[in-house]
């Protein structure tokens, strides 16, 4: 964008996050020149009766050019567990209750190599030394570093440190800790989107980002077909095997079909696959946006030249002359003759 005359500030991305509720304004995320940030004040009010919600992140450039809106996976709203002691029998059931909860805290936890830790239950900012009842979702706990002098795992701003607890003067079975050493047990998930503006910034949004969940090989010989299953597919997407564009047929938002390119497109002079060849599978939009799938396609060795099937070729040619909505009924290749393998 700077090459197009935009200033550095205008070309910097901005991000806003919300929970999909029109009553709540989206909050700006402070990137501060970093490639990550945290949101700590998102919440669901008691009047909000939703049992599920999705985080919504809107991104745009400093000059207000829209990048897109990125959604998380569905998040289940759960209640705080009862403070009554749980038995092993009902520990699993307690964390499955659904109700509204008043606060949602998001953060990035980086792995840290440390000593063996002991989980201790937390009650009123004190770690219980002799508690043996189980902990579950939304319970608070502390991580004691075994064989140390009351040292606990602690979060200080964006760093993981060791915090030394103070003995409780009135109760010898407790140790006093600070907020950073008190952790809340929650389940986590990740929604990751990858795209590249291959021909520079575009005017239309890059979202929704297509996600390929699985690949299925159908047929073999010179009419091998690859079926892509996933989400957010569109008619303006094409499947690419490495740097080779494949003939693509759009079925619906969850399914696409493409013709596997001949091995000669990757190895000049090869009439059949002589050794394994692996190529990445990507989706490319007609305006140059490239979406990585993290999946690859592998050509496996064949005993000799591929047999040519004239009947299958006729079917394939007729497919090209029919609307994309009818292509799902035209794939008649026999999967037992497949000569390629799909790996993730």
Q: Which positions ≥6 away from 34 have C-beta within 8 Å?
A: none
SS (H, E, C) 25-82: CCEEECCCCCCCCCCCCECCCCCCCCCEECCEEEEEECCCCEEEEEECCCEECECCCC
Per-residue confidence in pLDDT tens, the chain, 344 aa: 555 667 777 778 888 998 876 567 888 888 777 777 788 778 888 788 888 888 899 988 878 788 999 998 888 887 665 555 444 333 333 333 333 333 334 444 445 555 788 899 998 899 999 888 888 888 899 999 998 999 999 998 878 899 999 999 889 999 999 999 999 888 888 888 889 988 877 888 999 999 999 999 988 767 789 999 999 999 999 999 999 999 999 999 999 999 999 888 888 777 767 788 899 999 999 999 999 999 999 888 776 665 555 555 565 566 555 544 333 333 323 333 333 444 43
Question: What is the rounded CA–CA span in Å between residue 192 and residue 211?
Answer: 10
What is the fold, at CATH topology level, of the domain defined by 1-108?
A: Immunoglobulin-like (2.60.40)
Using an 8 Å Cβ cutoff, are 118 and 147 in contact? Answer: no
**In CATH, 196-343 is 2.60.40.10:** yes
pLDDT of residue 152: 95
pLDDT of residue 28: 87
CA dist 96 → 55, 76, 93, 136, 259 (Å)? 21, 10, 6, 10, 45
Same topology between domain 1-108 and domain 196-343: yes
Domain regions of the chain by residue span: 1-108, 111-184, 196-343
CA angle 56, 58, 59 (to 5 degrees): 145
pLDDT of residue 299: 86
User: In DSSP terms, which residues pair with 218 in a beta bridge?
Assistant: 225
CA 146, distance to chain mean position in Å, is 35
**In CATH, 111-184 is 2.40.100.10:** no
pLDDT of residue 106: 43
pLDDT of residue 310: 58
């Amino acid at each position: 964008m700077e090459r197009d005359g935009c200033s550095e500030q205008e070309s910097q991305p901005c991000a806003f996050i919300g929970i999909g509720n029109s009553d709540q304004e989206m909050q700006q995320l402070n990137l501060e020149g970093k490639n990550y940030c945290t949101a700590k004040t998102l919440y669901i009010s008691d009047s909000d009766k939703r049992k599920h919600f999705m985080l919504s992140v809107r991104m745009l450039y400093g000059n207000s050019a829209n990048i897109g809106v990125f959604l998380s996976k569905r998040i289940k709203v759960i209640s705080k567990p009862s403070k009554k002691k749980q038995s092993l029998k009902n520990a699993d059931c307690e964390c499955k209750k659904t109700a509204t909860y008043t606060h949602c805290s998001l953060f990035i936890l980086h792995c840290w190599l440390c000593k063996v830790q002991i989980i201790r239950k937390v009650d009123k900012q004190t770690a219980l030394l002799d508690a043996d009842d189980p902990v579950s979702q939304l319970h608070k706990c502390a991580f004691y570093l075994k064989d140390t002098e009351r040292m606990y795992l602690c979060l200080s701003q964006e760093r993981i440190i060791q915090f030394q607890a103070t003995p409780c003067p009135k109760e010898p079975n407790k140790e006093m800790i600070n907020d950073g050493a008190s952790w809340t047990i929650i389940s986590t998930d990740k929604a990751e989107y990858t795209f590249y503006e291959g021909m520079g910034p575009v005017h239309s949004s890059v979202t929704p980002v297509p996600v390929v969940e699985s690949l299925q090989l159908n047929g073999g010989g010179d009419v091998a077909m690859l079926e892509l299953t996933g989400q957010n597919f569109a008619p303006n997407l094409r499947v690419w095997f490495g740097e080779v564009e494949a003939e693509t047929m759009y079925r619906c938002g969850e399914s696409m079909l493409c013709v596997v390119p001949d091995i000669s497109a990757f190895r000049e002079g090869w009439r059949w696959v002589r050794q394994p060849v692996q190529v990445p599978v990507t989706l490319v939009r007609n305006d140059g946006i490239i979406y990585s799938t993290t999946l690859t396609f592998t050509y496996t060795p064949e005993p000799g030249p591929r047999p040519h099937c004239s009947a299958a070729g006729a079917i394939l040619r007729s497919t090209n002359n029919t609307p994309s909505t009818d292509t799902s009924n035209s794939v008649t290749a026999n999967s037992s003759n497949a000569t390629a393998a799909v790996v993730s």
